[in-house]
Amino acid sequence: MNNSELRILFVVDAIQGRNGVGTYFQDLVAQLRPHVEQVELVAPNLLEPHPVQGLSFPLPGDNTQRLFLPKMRKLVQLANEIKPNVIVVPGPGLFATGGLWLAAKLGVPVCMTHQTDYPSLVRLYWPGPIGYLAQKSLSWVNKFMLRASSNVVTISDGMVEQLLSLGVAQPHLVGTSLSNNFIDRPVSPQAEKIEHVLFLGRLAAEKNIAHFLDLAASRPELTFTIAGDGPLRDIVIQQQEEIENLHFLGWQDRGKIPRLIDDNDLLILPSSVEAFGTVALEAMARKRLVLTTAACGISEWADLSRGLVVMSKNESLQSALERIEAMEPSERYNIVRDGRESALALNQASVNQWLAVLRQTSEQSHLLPQGWPSPIYSLVKRYMAA
């Protein structure tokens, strides 16, 4: 099948523009659109609710995010209009499960993405017996969806290893695309000195926000900015009152992110769990210095690592910042130059990789497993009839 014949339906639980997974699919769909016959993203949107978006309730452990129920009749109606030859779903979720059921109903092959380290996040948010039960439940649903998918893609070598351990024989490693807002907007020069430092992302335990706050308190001569939302929001607000050089902007509309990155000299991503780290790629595309931990999946990409500064195992943020400040200006210039070049190259490669996987998936409808959708099919059919 040619690219121009592909009709793709993405069914995603992540809220558009609210986290890395949500922005990943927004950007990917936008980049795929010129190359395929049709591509549609079904995902919750807080500003412009999607027609498939139904009732919602707070995400356990993080009431700043919500889980949405899909309107299955609307989803079926949309699929009948599009007539997709591939349906793409992420890991366990209500929308994704609905997309999996829809694929079974229509006889359409599924491409599943694996881009969240569920066991690590469960251990952070729900320790003890509740966490154990949650982890087992997610693991069962995840394995079921993996077995039901014709192809599985992921975004870092570490996630590939997870899939191999789960019995996925040939996972596809694909890159991360960028919004054109980060590509086409003219870039401004990197400052000679680091004066403005940025954290941009979810305010959550896995992001190690406390380390960033400690760094801000230890360097009063620099300006530190935090932009985002999450369960640790109140802690950040409290610290802003005590740390004079710390500014908290809250959640920012996606259209404002390129300018926000441009206004800073260094972006720090101090995560302990991070499958990739899209915001780091975005900052690289804007020719800004980026400091990450080795836990960030983006550091596993050899072509990207030359445009990053990656912390060593026992290095503190304070020491890492001092290491960057001690670099010659020419060395920092080379890092940001390489960062932009490699980010733009990855964007184009990612589109080509995705197109190849989608073509391959579309040609596997005759290989669909028989009988696997019956439990989900029955449950969702009952939900639709209610």
pTM: 0.86
Return the pLDDT at 372.
47
Helix (H, G, I), strand (E, B) or coil at 172: strand
Over the stretch 224-276, which tens digit does the pLDDT of each residue have?
Answer: 999 999 999 999 999 999 999 999 999 998 899 999 999 999 999 999 989 89
Give the span between the Cα atoms of 49 and 266, in whole angstroms: 34
Give the span between the Cα atoms of 194 and 171, in whole angstroms: 40
Question: What are the chain's domains?
Answer: 3-150+364-385 (3.40.50), 180-345 (3.40.50.2000)
Each residue's pLDDT expressed in tens, for the chain with a length of 386 residues: 788 899 999 999 988 877 888 899 999 999 999 999 999 999 999 888 999 999 888 776 666 678 889 999 999 999 999 999 999 999 888 899 999 999 988 889 999 999 877 666 666 666 667 666 766 777 788 888 888 899 999 998 988 998 999 889 899 999 999 999 999 999 999 888 999 999 999 999 899 999 999 999 999 999 999 999 999 999 999 999 999 999 999 999 889 999 999 999 999 999 998 989 999 999 999 999 999 999 999 999 999 999 999 999 889 999 999 999 999 999 999 999 999 999 999 999 999 999 999 999 998 765 555 444 444 444 445 544 54
The terminus-to-terminus CA distance of the chain in angstroms comes to 39
- Cα dihedral 299→302→305→306 (10° resolution): 170
Give the span between the Cα atoms of 329 and 92, in whole angstroms: 46
Q: What percent of the chain has pLDDT over 70?
A: 89
Give the span between the Cα atoms of 141 and 386, in whole angstroms: 24
Handedness of CA 211, 217, 222, 223 (dihedral sign): positive
Return the pLDDT at 195.
97
Over the stretch 24-62, which tens digit does the pLDDT of each residue have?
Answer: 999 999 999 999 999 999 999 988 899 999 988 877 666
- Host H or E run for residue 310: strand 309-310
Return the pLDDT at 135.
67
Return the pLDDT at 118.
67
Return the pLDDT at 380.
46
Number of DSSP helices (H) and strands (E) in the chain, helices first: 15, 14
Return the pLDDT at 266.
98
Give the span between the Cα atoms of 241 and 218, in whole angstroms: 15
- Host H or E run for residue 291: strand 289-292
- Cα dihedral 50→102→2→183 (10° resolution): 30
Pair 336, 307: CB distance under 8 Å: yes
